[in-house]
Chains A and B, each alone.
Chain A
């Protein structure tokens, strides 16, 4: 939880690709006979916005689950090198520990705490970084009260940041779609990540909401300095945000590069861009 400054130097000096925030090496994930990911390797630079595209069922969400400790791949490793600590081997680490190391995520279908307010949803993310125990809460110790105040202030800041200040006391389940997406991003940001994984953040939103989401994601990257790994179907959105793309198909990386390079790659055109985008019709 604490961030010793000496660690930053150590991490910065770590090896040849010292600037890689995440390294995914030869990850293979199987479910019985189904291979969701096969020999996937890539790395993401610190501060980068990287996008993962690919048809439905390509293994994008599975990749996110491997990056957050939800799934344990049979083969391969995932290394996360936060600036603020020692490198973490994600495979086999519990999801909450991965989150504490600095990887936060949103879900393809948003998973908010639906009976709680917007404020409380963000607060849960924020206060997972504070050490407050049951005794402190029961006895209202000064330390606990200070933590409450500090996390409240942080929540207010995040509400402002994602533009949900007016909705602070709305029950999460009654928020419109775009706001749910924003709230999920705010909750994830509350855990102070260095890497934010967004699973189809614009799915189901209207063009106006989409445009403001693009704006928000860019702000997350520039204002908070958070690296973003993004799954998205909307090519326009991907092109305008990502510096680099990775294309997954049947669990394999079939192309990687700048948006322009990828768009011209024949394998990609065949697998994804050229084919009618069935999964976009459904949205």
Chain B
């Protein structure tokens, strides 16, 4: 129960203390009805459903926003939208009125995994099982799903793991994350000799990995150095701008990047060892296992980091930057470090994608993509590696499943509407994400009780700075 429970329903004295409604008796009844929060929310959900129906239109047209008006108001689509929003209303109302019972039941349900999961060996076992599954299962899939596994799931899991370091560990809101993905992809294009500018020597894409990692890291440090002094909102805006700049540069610097048409013929990976020549072609599985390898490497590395001095420093910075500085932590250094580590992960993903598809164009690197990855991280549970993996996998798999399943089938243009809805529901019912980290869960509970704030999205998140100026007596 977050914001909704704080309203007037539980405060009959507040209702009573208001001045009597103006007008006659029937007005009074109406007014009283409109003051009932359940009724008010019901009206909102019906109106919301109609608006949703209008926006998505009978054909789910996301381009012509109001095309729904042209359709019949009794089109089944309208009822679907109404059903969705009224369903949400029912959920909220039930939760509101039966909060205690619901919590009791959900507490029991939640207690179940909690009782099993704390054991370290069980968790390690789960990871191993997941790993074994990830190795054995894909060869049994058809090529469509193998492709989904590479292009929709694998890459995004890797990207989410990297962004999790920035957003989840260090608490920095990075909206330009995909820029480093672009840097990785264009590095690949450059070192394989496919850009209009030629490299000193042509490399096999495998050798591009270390170079792309270094380049992306360098870009992260160059961007992070000056901007990470900023807090919360400002950082988000600067990174947003950086993402745009990279895309625009890729578009307009024709002589270097090939401009808007993009770069073609980027070679696939190939292996030449001891007389064996193996060129990776269009088959998906080699790429899948390459990605899996990088995911496992990243997981091992970042797990170690989380439980080291570096991870603790990040937690300290996230919770209270002023106290962290006072405890001798060079906050800027650690923020830049998180930024650079995230950037390098994104860069690796860029190389893989470029060499798998063989084609890069500036239009691939939109802000929307940065936000999508952020959504994956939040959905999975910020600061949790398991969350990043499972969250990204589930959220990327679901639309594909819905797309091909005969019962559903939806317009892909509407994807973000559903993502938005899922995220809102998530924030209401499980703000800590699918598989939250222990530290993060504690922070969210504390924030609900007014101790500190839980995430990077709040401007005064580190407690110092502007907050201190606004209220000098309270702190410092």
Contact = CB atoms under 8 A, between A and B. Distances in A.
Interface of A: 31, 56-57, 61, 65, 68, 70, 94-96, 99-100, 104-105, 107-109, 111-116, 120, 123-125, 127-130, 132-134, 137-140, 144, 147-148, 171, 173, 187-188, 190-191
B273 interface: no
B327 A191 contact: yes
B308 A132 contact: yes
Contacts of A137: 304-305, 308-311
B328 A128 contact: yes
B115 interface: no
Nearest to B449: A173
B309 A99 contact: no
Instruction: Pick from A115, A125, A129 the residue with the most CB of B within 10 Å.
Output: A115
Contact of A132 (B309, B327, B473): B309
Contacts of A116: 312, 315-316, 319, 439
Looking at B316, B325, B330, B476, the one whose CB has the most chain A CB atoms below 10 A away is B476
B315 A115 contact: yes
B407 interface: no
A137 B230 CA distance: 27
A56 B153 CA distance: 58
22 contacts: A56-B473, A61-B476, A68-B326, A70-B325, A70-B326, A95-B325, A96-B328, A107-B326, A108-B476, A111-B323, A111-B326, A115-B319, A123-B312, A127-B309, A132-B308, A134-B305, A137-B304, A137-B310, A138-B300, A138-B302, A148-B308, A191-B328
B166 interface: no
Contacts of A134: 305, 308, 310, 337, 341
Contacts of B327: 99, 104, 124-125, 128, 187-188, 190-191
B138 interface: no
B442 interface: yes
Contact of B476 (A94, A107, A144, A148): A107
Contacts of A61: 476
B305 A111 contact: no
A109 B475 contact: yes
Question: Which of A95, A108, A127 has the most C-beta atoms of chain B within 10 angstroms of its own C-beta?
Answer: A95
B442 A115 contact: yes
User: Which of B312, B323, B473, B474 lies at the interface centre, i.e. has the most chain A CB atoms within 10 A of its CB?
Assistant: B323
List the 10 closest A-B pairs by CB distance, nearest first: A128-B328, A137-B308, A115-B442, A111-B323, A95-B325, A99-B328, A138-B301, A132-B309, A115-B443, A191-B328
Given A115-B439, A134-B305, A127 B325 contact: no
Contact of B322 (A56, A70, A120, A128): A70
B313 interface: yes
Contacts of A133: 310
B451 interface: yes
A140 to B, nearest CB: 6
B422 to A, nearest CB: 26
Nearest to B320: A111
Contacts of B322: 70, 95, 107, 111
B463 interface: yes
Contacts of A99: 325-328
A138 B312 contact: no
B451 A173 contact: yes
B446 interface: yes
Interface in B444-476: 446, 451-452, 463, 472-476
Residue in A96, A105, A108, A123 with the greatest tally of chain B CB atoms within 10 Å: A96
Contacts of B148: none
B248 interface: no
Contact of B326 (A104, A132, A138): A104
Centre residue among A138, A140, A148, A191 by max chain B CB count within 10 A: A138
B392 to A, nearest CB: 22
Given A104-B328, A137-B309, 17 more contacts: A94-B325, A94-B330, A96-B330, A100-B328, A111-B320, A112-B320, A115-B440, A120-B315, A124-B324, A127-B312, A128-B328, A128-B329, A130-B309, A137-B308, A148-B308, A188-B327, A190-B327
Given A99-B325, A124-B329, A125-B327, A107 B475 contact: yes
A140 B323 CA distance: 28
A187 B463 CA distance: 19
Nearest to A64: B476
Given A115-B319, A115-B446, A140 B304 contact: yes
A112 B323 contact: yes
B331 interface: yes
